[in-house]
Structures are given as C-alpha cells and as structure tokens.
Structure 1
Amino acid sequence: MHTTLSSVLTQEQVDQYHELGYCVAQDLFAAEEIDEIEVFFDNYWSHGGALGEGHRGLSDLDKTKVQVRAMHPHRFHPRAAEWLMHPRVCDALEVLLGNPPLGAQTMYYYKPPGAKGQGMHQDNFYLLARPATCIAAWTAIDAADNDNGCLWVVPGSHKGDILCPESKTERWMNYGDSHISKFPRETKPVCVTVPRGGTVFFGGNLIHGSGPNRTADRYRRTFIGHYVDAASEELSQFYHPVLNRQLEEVTTVGKAAKGGPCGDDWQGAVH
C-alpha cells in the first residue's frame, strides 16, 4: 500500500528532513505503547539486562557511569522487534526513504542524572550502508531538552560526506569525545527538544551527538532504531540480519567488504 504524507508526516516535515537532515514527528507510538516500552526496559534493567541467552545486555550495569544502554534488544525479544518495525514508524520511513525500510539495529538509552553526553558523529560511519545512507528513528521515552541531554544536530550536514577520524584511536571516541574533530566553519549544532513520545528522524550522514544530563532527578530515556532502505546493497557485518515489516530476515543486503572513504581496514562497528 502506498503511504500518503497525511497519514504520518506533513509535507513540511518531509521537506525539513531533506533540507536539514532531520525532522520531528509526534504520536507515531500511542501513549500506551510508550508506557509499555518504559516498563519493559525498566524490568529489563531489574533483571540484570538479560533478554535471552547470548545477549550482551547493558554495556554498563552501573547507572552512575557514562552511558548505560541496551544493545540490539530486537534480536532477543519479539516485542522489541515489533517496536523497531512499528507500522507508523515504517510508514514515515518509507516516505522519507522512498523505499520500504529494513530494520538493522535497536538501542535503548537510560541516560540517568549525571550521565555524560555522546560525542558528535555520523551513523553511517559505523553502519556503512551503501549505496544510500542509513536513517535513525529516535523516540523520546522522557521529554528531552538541554537540561537532561537533548540530541544535538548540525542542520544540513547530511549533505556532506562522511568525515573520517584523523587517527584510528578517534574511531572509538563515541562517548563524551567526538570522533569528528573538525567541523566546517559555517556549521552550528542545535538542540532538538522533543516531548515524551516524539520521534526524531535523521539521516546517516547528519553530524549529531547529545549533551550531558545535568539534572538531579530526570532521566532521558530513548528507544532508537536504525534502518536502511530495501534497495541497499551493503551494510556493515555488525548490523546483520536485517528485518522487513513482517519481521522476516532479508538476505538481499550483503555484508560490506570494504571500509569505504575511511579506509578498507575499517569494517564499521556497533555504536
């Protein structure tokens, strides 16, 4: 079925995405679904981050540390896969991509009070999607603003190429520090404020990061999905398998054999 603009996104939102590299949509998830996601990951936390056998769980079980997140929960629980490929999110993605979306990654950030921000980066440096780039759907479980660590983006930077780190060490400066050490002079990051339940869509070449949570009592929890379009030919090995709307594994997207503009020794990474 052809997805119409009026069902999920306005023409203004679509135009902003293509012009600035991002847009914000409201109420793609019902309020009850946002509540369910919150409870699900709170329970996940209380069980030590175990969704299933072989799951790495949280990158750090101490809430007071730099970044606390659940990685790839969709691979280990069917409900998380359903949120990744939520019908209204997929409808919006299809409008923005021009092709059906394929789900590649899920993350859930807890970002407790005192947590550091995430360094400025571009998602497709890690995902290596080709020939087009990837896209993210960043859904706020808590309202996000400058105080609790909003998403910061550099509008228009999606029109540029992937900016490579100046050294191999910088490739891993994902938290607090940026792997992008030099920005064009005309760029200026902006804070994207999002209410609970709002979803930010942004392209894989968009320079973005997040600020620290300076509050004493507010979390900044987010559920994030990364996607490629169905015409993609390659994707980093760390993001396979990919799923279609029916939650079926798709085998038409190959594993990226070369690292692209940042060197063939670079094979992407989970970020």
Structure 2
Amino acid sequence: MLTGLKTVSKKQKDQFEKEGYLIIKGLFSKQEIAEIDQTFMEMSKKTIKGCFEPIMDQSSEVEDPLKRYPRMMHPHRVNDVAMKYMLHPKVMLILSDLFNENALAAQSMFYFKPPLARGQALHQDNFYLKVEPGTCIAAWTAVDKADLENGTLLVVPKTNNDEIYCPELADSKESFTNQYVKVPKGLKAVPAIMNQGDVLFFNGNLIHGSYRNKTKDRFRKAFICHYAGESTTKISGFYSPLFREDGSKVEPELNPDSGPCGNEFDTVYPH
C-alpha cells in the first residue's frame, strides 16, 4: 500500500450512505490521467476481439459516432495499464472505506463518448452485476472534463437504498443501451460535474445515466470500474473472475442471467 493515500472522512462517508454517491476531487494526477488517456486512445486504433470492436469505415461515424468509438469492455483482461488502474491503491483504499471491507474488482470499461454521441439511459448497475449479498460500487474516473455540454453522468440521489427496478424500453435515439429506469416520484436526476482526475464513487442501486454529448469537438472519456466487497458470494458470470488488489483471482458462485452493464440496441452478448 502506498503511503499518504486519501481516505474518506466521516462527512464523506455519511454523504455516500445518505445520497448514494461521492466525488473525490483530483484523486488521479495529470500524469496518471495522461497515461490512461494515451493507453486507450492507442488501443482504439485497432479491433480487440471481445473488448473493442469498432467499425473503422468513416461513413459510419457520421451515422453514429459510437460505431467508431464503442465502449471498451473488460480492457483489464487484455491490457496491463487497465489492470493497474482498476486495482490502483488510491481507488481500492477508498472502496474499502465505503464497503467497510476489502474490495474485489469485477469489471473495467472505457467510454469514449465522442462528439454528438448518444448517452446511456438511466439504470442501476446491480441489475446487471447481481452482487450478493449487498451491492456493487462503481468508480467513475473523468479522463476529460465532464459537464452538461459533453454529457456528464447524471445521478438520482437517495435511490441507493431502493430495490432494483424492472426497466422499461429506452429511447434508441438518445440512448445506446436499451433499458431505462424511471426517476421515482419526488426525486430528480442531477449532473455530476467533474474535472480530469476526479473520481465518482456510487452505489450499485443508485439510478444514473447520461444525456447525449452535444458538443461537436469534445470527447467525454471516462474509465469506469465496478467492485464488490470481499464478502460477496454470488455475481453474474459476465464479471467473473474478481480480482483482489494484489491481482489474485476470486471466483464466487455465479448468478444466472449475467450480462454487461446495459445491453446495447441490436446487440446480443453471451450470457
């Protein structure tokens, strides 16, 4: 464990437990963010089967920029830098405070969200991960500044203690994933405005999503990982094996009906 790492204060822990999310400002340095950014932009130059399967034809980019820059799934399985930051001590220490136990890494993703790309309909992560007991926690690292214009994440505070809702069909014109969870009556979605290097931690039951990137010249890149507590006994098979901070594997019992975090329109993932 590195020395001098940030842990969460009682006030921050109380906010996370009450609101369901917490932003840690400047958790990663400019140099660390540059390493993440450069790594994934280099990876995006070619197809990586099962991880990143773009359509390189430029004509498709006009139709849908996400065809050229789809999200990367499980890059930690093919890239050491992705594994390094998924298991980074800065993140794992904060997660241990939020879980009240050591964390196990379940998934890494990289979202490019290029200019004019659709967003992702509101959803709950543990609908997909199916962590038992308890729930998962996400660590959402802003690789670019994330604001209203380029489609930052929206969170619905206080839904972290809600049950998992049955999703409805999303609007395919605005969301690249096909499932949508309504905002409960009396609550509202609020934007998580973030600078490069900020990390948003949020509960797996928290309703969240994003709008379209409305800019014509800015990406909204983010490195996103999901975690479970070490007391986890079950998880969806799509996310196994789990990893301890030291890189060793954990293989809990598998829950049925596993899948990625939000199925895409016209896309079928193996379960």
Q: What TM-score do the two structures reach when normalised by structure 1? A: 0.86
Q: Secondary structure at the match of 2:160?
A: helix
Deviations 1:218-242 (A, max 9, x none): 1100000000000001000100111
**How big is the shift at 1:200?**
0.2
Tell whether the 8 Å contact from 1:139 to 1:224 is kept in structure 2 after alignment.
yes
What residue identity is the alignment partner of 2:239? Y
Q: How does 1:1-271 map to 2 (within 5 A)?
A: 7-46=6-45, 48-50=46-48, 54-58=49-53, 61=56, 65=64, 67=66, 68-165=70-167, 170=169, 175-176=175-176, 179-251=179-251, 253-257=252-256, 267-271=257-261
Alignment CA distance shift 1:21-1:204 (3 Å) = same
Residue segments in structure 1 that go unaligned for 5+ positions in a row: 258-266
Q: Secondary structure at the match of 2:84?
A: helix
Going from structure 1 to structure 2, the CA distance change for 1:177 and 1:239 (only over 3 Å counts) comes to closer
Question: What is the deviation of 1:269?
Answer: 1.1
Percent identity over paired residues? 37
Shift of 1:79: 1.9
CA displacement at 1:254 relative to structure 2:
1.2
CA contact (8 A) 2:47 2:54 kept: no
The residue type equivalent to 1:138 in the other structure is W
Change (3 A) 1:58 1:121: same
Structure 2 residue identity aligned to 1:107? M
* Partner amino acid, structure 1, of 2:117: A
Q: After the TM superposition, list the runs of 4 or more consecutive aligned residues in structure 1 that deviate by more than 6 angstroms.
A: 171-174
Distance 2:211 2:171 in 1: 18
Instruction: Evaluate the alpha carbon distance shift between residue 181 and residue 239 of structure 1 in structure 2; reply closer, same or farther with a 3 A threshold.
Output: closer
The separation in 2 between residues aligned to 1:12 and 1:237, in whole angstroms, is 35
Q: Matched residues in 1 for 2:188 and 2:208: separation?
A: 11
Aligned to 1:260: none
Task: Answer whether contact 1:118 1:177 (CA < 8 A) is retained.
Answer: yes
* Equivalent residues of 2:51, 2:75 under 8 A apart: no
RMSD: 2.3
Q: How many matched pairs?
A: 252
Q: Following the alignment from structure 1 to structure 2, what is the Cα–Cα distance between the partners of residues 172 and 77?
A: 33
* 8 A contact 1:145–1:192 mirrored in 2: yes
Q: Which amino acid aligns with 2:14?
A: D
Q: 2: distance between equivalents of 1:129 and 1:203? A: 12
Which ranges in structure 2 are unaligned for 5 or more consecutive residues?
262-271
Q: CA deviation at 1:31?
A: 1.9
Distance 2:181 2:36 in 1: 35
Contact kept? 2:44, 2:52, Cα under 8 Å: no
Shift of 1:177: 6.3
Q: 1:43 to 1:21 in 2, by over 3 A?
A: same
Matched with 2:266 is none
User: Structure 1 residues 211 and 239, CA, compared in 2 at 3 Å: closer, same or farther?
Assistant: same
